Structure 1
Amino acid sequence: MKSNFRIAFAAALLSTVAVPALAADLPSAKAPVYAPIVDDSFDPFLIRVRALGVLPNGSSSTILGGPIYGASLSDNVVPEVDFTYFFTKHWAAELIAGVAHTSLTGSLTPVGTNVNFANTTLLPPTLTLQYHFALGQFDPYVGVGANYTWFLQTTSPLTRTLGYGDAVTIKPTAGLALQAGFDYYLTKHWVLNADAKYLFLNTDANTPFGPNTVHVNADTWLIGVGVGYRFGMADLFPTPVVAKY
């Protein structure tokens, strides 16, 4: 009798040890829980390449105090590069650079034929302070800033015809710049962009007839579409990966 009791007690004791051990060997029914990977890095740099329509006004230009009838500056489409630096999620500064060729044409009389007063190349760097609405993938923005335009390599078919050569010099000028546009983020880094700026520009030109004898209204629309790449310091200087064994 005692022998049977000892056998039963030993079996019960072994079962209390074996059941937890067996449970430990069985696979868990619950899937492992991993912490979510969140990329909350702030990328302050944005570089874009755009096709830029340069649409100057030219109307209300004058020569020797009288109107240039039908005065206009020719339109152009040029490549443009711009650089944006984000101070915060919403505030940024943008600088654009590009050149465009234009011609000032018009007539000296109301019924006269158009003549080419000057051909010139515009270099209009523009710096704007922007506010970005940061609506996720779609990021509209507005901006205000300043423009400074140089007029380079100016020639004048009119003064050539009159025997004075290319004796026309258009003075550089500064003006207010207004801006509106949007970025659409295809990925964290790549964006599509559409942008419009209006430059308030007026300048004078020296001619063989005296200083400041031509006044040019050069108010200009800059309409651009393009693609950009946004990045941060980690993209410029990636942290080396150290393997662990």
Structure 2
Amino acid sequence: MVEEGVRKQPSNKRKKTKLSPSKKPVNKKKRSNRSNSIANTKNKNLRTEKNRRQKQQTGSKKKQKTTTYKTKNSISTLIFNLFFYGFILFVVIGSIIFATTKNVDKSIFGYRFFGVLTNSMVPRDPETQKGGFHSGDIIIVKNIAGDEAKVGDVITFRPSIKSQAFLTHRVKKKMDHLGETKGIYYITQGDANLAEDVPISEKQVVGKKIVVVPKIGAILNFVRDNPLISIVFLISVFGFITIIRYYILNK
């Protein structure tokens, strides 16, 4: 018998199927590019944040340095001002007193001003005779007790107890008696003189020479003869120096 039907051979052809939109294949290159872009953006943001923090830190350090510098500068300026104005006031007050009074017994904080009238203290040997001065100079003398002077000091003294004149010479000898009289006595001598002075007692000593201001004796003598002009002049000089100083510092 012949079979009615013939078996159907399995077809080698595969059925074509359509992919749904949700199952489309993803492009790997696009995915990697997107990942790289995100990573680059993150890195860029991190670098930007890092740079911003560094700038903030640098700015804060600069501010700290500026503040420290300003503080140090203000302290140094204050100290300089104290010394500057103190010195100027001392000179002005001393000059006014020197110019307006003829009482040589007056002193300013234990200091006196004397004008040099002779050349008895011009040194013959400048290497060994230190601290000499010339006629026309001004000397500043510090008040001392009569027994405090030492050999080599340049002292101001009265030639006699009641004398209104003064001499300023160098101490050559210091003695604890004169003949049979006990006490402190000095033998002085001018650097330009060849002979020693008459011995003096400690009661005649006025003070010890501290500073020499050269060649202004004539000016101060003029100021002494014209006290009103001298006061106006000194105040004007003080104001001029102050203005110039602030101009230089603020330039």
Question: For the pair shown, which has the larger CA radius of gyration, 1 or 2?
Answer: 2
Name the structure where strand makes up a greater proportion of residues.
1
**TM-score, length-scaled by structure 2:** 0.23
**TM-score, length-scaled by structure 1:** 0.24
